[in-house]
A = this chain, B = another copy of it.
Amino acid sequence: MTAAEARQLALGYLGRAGVVITPAEAGRIEVADFGLGELERSGLQILTYINTERVCAKELVLLPRQTCPEHRHPPVAGVPGKEETFRCRWGEVYLYVPGDAVAPGDARAVPPRGRDAAYTVWHEVVLRPGEQYTIYPDTLHWFQAGDEGAVVSEFSTRSRDESDVFTDPEIRRVPES
């Protein structure tokens, strides 16, 4: 799947979620494959509405079973890391954070093939439309959409993607020039 194809699919999901966006926004939906080259499994489509020094808001679109890999947001230059609230708007999303782990084999999500070692937190939070969860700074987390895909609103402090720390050493969040 190409980034252009993923972007086109994301537009369909936003429409089903009832999220209205402008033509300019449609053209700048970010497709993140985290440098892994397996977009259908490890990836995320992102529409950033606003990202100032203090506030950020986005819509995240996940294709069916697409996974945002495990990562955390550390402090940057003395400022606490990013705090984010995920609110499910459409579909279903499985979010994993530190805490009591689900029993092996019971988790609703399965890590992308061959990458199990990079998924270390297993406290499961299921988010359906209207449900939300807040992740405080520097807390490991990852999430995967259910079989129908998902649209998730993110409300947060400033996004500094280049500072994110991923568990999987193969990941490159920001393309290297």
A residues sitting closer than 8 Å to B (CB atoms) are 17-22, 25, 49-50, 52, 54-57, 80, 83-85, 87, 89-90, 129-132, 134, 153, 155-157
User: Contact check: which of B55, B89, B129 meets A55 at CB < 8 Å?
Assistant: B55
Taken together as a complex, chains A and B put the C-alpha atoms of A3 and B2 apart, in Å, by 51
Name the distance in Å between A18's Cβ and chain B's nearest Cβ.
2
Residues of B within 8 A of A156 (CB): 55
Which of A19, A20, A49, A129 has the most B CB atoms < 10 Å from its CB? A20
Q: Is the CB of B83 within 8 A of A132?
A: no
Residues of B within 8 A of A57 (CB): 57, 85, 87, 153, 155
Taken together as a complex, chains A and B put the C-alpha atoms of A10 and B25 apart, in Å, by 28
Name the distance in Å between A95's Cβ and chain B's nearest Cβ.
15
Residues of B within 8 A of A18 (CB): 17-19
Q: Is the CB of A20 within 8 A of B52?
A: no
Q: Is the CB of A130 within 8 A of B25?
A: yes
Taken together as a complex, chains A and B put the C-alpha atoms of A47 and B21 apart, in Å, by 21
Taken together as a complex, chains A and B put the C-alpha atoms of A155 and B56 apart, in Å, by 8
Taken together as a complex, chains A and B put the C-alpha atoms of A52 and B132 apart, in Å, by 14
Residues of B within 8 A of A130 (CB): 20-22, 25
Residues of B within 8 A of A25 (CB): 130
Residues of B within 8 A of A134 (CB): 50, 52
Taken together as a complex, chains A and B put the C-alpha atoms of A85 and B83 apart, in Å, by 18
Residues of B within 8 A of A155 (CB): 49-50, 55-57, 155
